[in-house]
Amino acid sequence: MFWVVVALLYFVLAAVAPSILGLFVNRARPDFGSLSLSLRIVFLVIALICLAATSYVHVESDEIAVLNKIYGTTSLSGEHIVATNGEKGPQAEILTPGWHPWFLVNVIYQVENKKVVSIPSSKYGFLVAKDGVPLRPDQFLADAFPSGRELDMLDAEFFLTHEGQRGPQTTILTPGTYRLNTHLWDVTIKDATDVAEGSVGVVKSNVIDSVHFGNLTAAKPSSCEQKTVSTNASGEAVAAAEAKSDEGRLAAILVPVGCIGVWEKALQPGRYYVNEAAYKVTMMSTRVQTWEFKGGYRKRYIDLSLDQAGNLTQTPRFEDIKKPDNAADPAVTPFVEGWLVPLELRVLAQVTPDNAPFVVASVGTLKDIEDNIMVPTIRSIVRNVVGAQGRHVLDLADNRAELEHAVEDAIRPEGLRAGIVIKEVKFGDPALPPELLVSRLRQQLADQLQVTYQQEQKAQTQRIETEKARATAEQQHQLVEALIGVQVAEQNKNAAKLRGEGQKLELEEVAQGQRAQADVLGQDRVLTITLVQQMLKAVQDKPEIVSLIGRLVPQTVVSTGGQGTGLDSAAAIIGALLNNGGGATPAFTGQSSKK
C-alpha cells in the first residue's frame, strides 16, 4: 500500500509539474515547455516504478505463494473458508516457483511465501482439510481420495469443487515433496508402522476402504459380513459353528480385509504407511514366549556338619527367594502330603501368525493372555497334578519327568482353546522340605567321608612311594656299589666253593693213590716217599734252603729204646742245646712201639 500512495503522489506531481517548475524557473524562458514535459515524464516514470513494485511476485524453487484477498466486491459464505471464485479471503489458487507479474497483486492480496511440504522416508503426512463438504454422521474420517486422482485432490480448487470433505482424511501423504495450499491443508508428520521380524500386525480398521498394505490388498468391499470364530482341538481358528462344544471356550468376531473391525488377516513383517487414525495395528509376537514362575517364597535348609570327634550337627537356616522382575508370576506352591512345596517352572508358548487376529480379538495382547488366561490356568493345573492323591513330595525329585509330562498334557488343551500353542513345560529345582532330605544327606555325608578316607589313604600311599623313590634316587650311587659288592661276593663265594671242591677232589685222588701205594709198598715207605717229595718241592720253591741243609742234619741222637718216660729225651735235648749254643738240632731215635 505504501508504494501505491507513493505512486499516486508522483502522478499528482506529474499533473502539476509546470506549476512546480514555475516556482523555480521563469516561465518566459523559451525552453520552459520542454522542461515541464521532462519533469512530467520523470514523475510518471517514478509513479510507474512504484506501481510495478506492487505488481509482481517472485517464488523460490522450494516455496509456494498463498494468497489472501483483501480488497474485493464479494465475500465468502459463512460455511466456507477458502475462496474459489475470487471472493475476499484465503484463495484456493497458489503461485508456483518463478516470476508472476500481476497488476497491484501485492495491493489487492496479502501474499505469503511458504515452504513446500516435505515428507521424509519412514514417515507419512496426516492431512486435515479446513474446508469442504461436512462429514456424514456415520463417518469418522473423510472418504479416501478417488483412485488415480490423489494428486488432483491435493489441489485446493479441485478438492473444493469435487466434493472433498473437510476434517481428517483417510488418504495420507507418503514420502515426497508436495505443494499444498496451507489455507486448506494442515499436515502432521507421523511415523510409519514397522512390523518387526518374528511378529505380525493385527489390524483393527475404523473405515471401509480399499487396502494396499504389502501382502494385504483388497478392493473396497461392497458388504462386510462378520465372522464369529473359535478354536478347534488343534488350536486353529475356525468358524464357531465348526468348533465342537467341548473344544472352543473363546470366541471372537473377525471381518474381511477392508471392513470396519478386526481383519481376519494380519500384516507380515515389513514397513507400512498406515494412517493410525484410520487403522490401529496391534503387534503380536509369533516367537516362542517364555513364562517363568519363579521366586516369592522362603526356602529352608538343614545343614549337616561333622566335627573332629565324629559328632554330627544339624543347623537350620533360611533364604528368601525374590521374584525376578521378568518373571510371569511367583513359584507355584502345591500341597503335597501335608507339605507346601514351592515349585519353580518354565512354560514355552507360541502364537501362530494365522491365530494372531483371533487372539487379539478374543483376549488382547500377549500380556493380556499371560495375565488373564494362562497364568491362572497354569497355577491351577500344577496344583491339581502335583498335589493329586497318591503323589509324594519326593516325586518332584525322583519322578520329575513324569510330572512334567503330566502337567504339559493338561496345559496344552487349555492353551489351544485360547489360540496358544504350548511347546514345553519344565520344572525348576523344587524347594523340598529339608526334614525329608536329612536321611539322604546323612547317607551322602557318610559316602563322602568314605570316599575322602579312601582318597587320603591313597594319597598317603602315593606319598610314601614318592618319598621312597626320592630316597632311592638320592642313594642310587651307594646302592649300585652295594649291588656290585653283593654280586662280587657272590662270585667270590662261588669261586671259593669251586676251589674247595677242586682241592677236595684232588686230595681224594691223592689219598686214593697213597692208599694204592701203601697197599704195594707199605705205609712207612709211602710216608718216606711223601716227605722226600715235599722236601724237594720246598727246595724247588725256595732254593735258599740248600744252604741250611747242614743245619738240618742232627748232631745229637737221643735213643730211648722205647722205654723212657719222655723226660730223658727232654733232658738230652736241653743238654745238647747248652753245649752247642743252639747250633745243632738233636735227633730222636728209638724203637717203634709197633716193632
Residue that wins the pLDDT comparison between 486 and 280: 280
* pLDDT the model gives residue 240: 47
Check residue 198 and give left, alpha or beta (phi > 0: left; psi -120 to 50: alpha): left
Q: Quick one: CA dihedral 84, 88, 89, 94, positive or negative?
A: positive
* pLDDT the model gives residue 588: 47
Q: Is the pLDDT of residue 274 over 80?
A: yes
* pLDDT the model gives residue 592: 41
* pLDDT the model gives residue 589: 47
CA distances to 260, 333, 376 from 372, in Å:
27, 19, 7
* pLDDT the model gives residue 382: 94
Residue that wins the pLDDT comparison between 488 and 339: 339
3-state DSSP helix/strand/coil % of the chain, to nearest 5: 40, 25, 35
Q: 473 lies in a domain?
A: no
Nearest CA-CA partner of 275 in 380, 330, 204, 181:
204
Say which residues have a Cβ less than 8 Å from residue 140's Cβ, sequence separation at least 6. 206, 207, 277, 278
Q: Is the pLDDT of residue 276 over 80?
A: yes
Phi, psi values for residue 211, rounded to 5°: -130, 135
Burial 460-488 (b: 16+ CB within 10 A, else e): eeeeeeeeeeeeeeeeeeeeeeeeeeeee
Check residue 590 and give left, alpha or beta (phi > 0: left; psi -120 to 50: alpha): left
Q: 575 lies in a domain?
A: no
Q: Which range (217-226, 252-261, 327-336, 535-544) has the least confidence?
A: 535-544
**The C-alpha cell of 543 is what?**
732254593
Between CA 382 and CA 395 the distance in angstroms is: 14
Q: Which amino acid is at 233?
A: A
Burial class (CB in 10 A: 0-12, 13-18, 19+), 504: exposed
**The C-alpha cell of 112 is what?**
505469503
8 Å CB contact between 284 and 204: no
Q: Is the pLDDT of residue 49 over 90?
A: no
The CATH number that applies at residue 428 is 3.30.479.30
Q: Of all residues in the chain, what percent carry a pLDDT higher than 70?
A: 84
Partners of residue 299 on adjacent β-strands? 319
pLDDT, averaged across the chain: 82
- What is residue 256's DSSP assignment? -
Q: 254 lies in a domain?
A: no
6-20, 23-37, 206-220, 504-518: range with highest mean pLDDT: 206-220
The arithmetic mean of pLDDT across residues 309-328, rounded, is: 86
Q: 530 lies in a domain?
A: no
What predicted TM-score, i.e. pTM, was given to this entire model?
Answer: 0.64
Q: Which amino acid is at 113?
A: N
**The C-alpha cell of 137 is what?**
454422521
Q: Which range (47-61, 173-187, 488-502, 559-573) has the least confidence?
A: 559-573
The arithmetic mean of pLDDT across residues 409-423, rounded, is: 90
The H or E element spanning position 464 is helix 438-474
Phi, psi values for residue 185, rounded to 5°: -110, 135
Nearest CA-CA partner of 360 in 430, 407, 419:
419
* pLDDT the model gives residue 507: 77
Rg, the chain, Cα only: 68
* pLDDT the model gives residue 591: 45
* Confidence band, pLDDT 50/70/90 cuts, at residue 578: low
8 Å CB contact between 251 and 242: no
Q: Is the pLDDT of residue 590 over 50?
A: no
User: Of 75, 93, 114, which one is at a domain's C-terminal end?
Assistant: 114
Nearest CA-CA partner of 80 in 131, 136, 135:
131
* pLDDT the model gives residue 582: 45
Please, which contacts does 16-21 make with residues 24 or more away whose CB atoms are closer than 8 Å?
Answer: 17/43
Q: Give me the numbers of helices (H) and strands (E) for the chain, helices first please.
A: 16, 29
* pLDDT the model gives residue 547: 65
Say which residues have a Cβ less than 8 Å from residue 205's Cβ, sequence separation at least 6. 255, 258, 259, 260, 261, 263, 278, 279
Q: Is the pLDDT of residue 527 over 80?
A: no
Give me the number of domains the chain comprises: 2
Q: 95 lies in a domain?
A: yes
* Confidence band, pLDDT 50/70/90 cuts, at residue 593: very low
Between CA 236 and CA 293 the distance in angstroms is: 27
Read off the pLDDT of residues 451-475 as tens digits, 9 standing for 90 and up.
877 888 888 888 888 888 887 777 7
Residue that wins the pLDDT comparison between 103 and 287: 287
User: Of 114, 130, 148, which one is at a domain's C-terminal end?
Assistant: 114
Quickly count: other Cβ atoms within 10 Å of residue 420's Cβ: 28
Q: Is the pLDDT of residue 425 over 60?
A: yes
* pLDDT the model gives residue 131: 93
236-250, 312-326, 491-505: range with highest mean pLDDT: 312-326
Q: 303 lies in a domain?
A: yes
Nearest CA-CA partner of 286 in 200, 375, 176, 225:
200
Q: Is the pLDDT of residue 32 over 80?
A: no
* pLDDT the model gives residue 75: 84
Domain that holds residue 293: 289-432
Length of the chain: 595
Q: Which range (360-369, 377-386, 447-456, 520-529) has the least confidence?
A: 520-529
* pLDDT the model gives residue 21: 67
* pLDDT the model gives residue 411: 93
Read off the pLDDT of residues 132-179 as tens digits, 9 standing for 90 and up.
999 999 888 999 999 888 899 999 999 999 999 999 999 999 999 999
Between CA 425 and CA 277 the distance in angstroms is: 41
User: Of 379, 397, 432, which one is at a domain's C-terminal end?
Assistant: 432
Q: 96 lies in a domain?
A: yes
8 Å CB contact between 68 and 90: yes
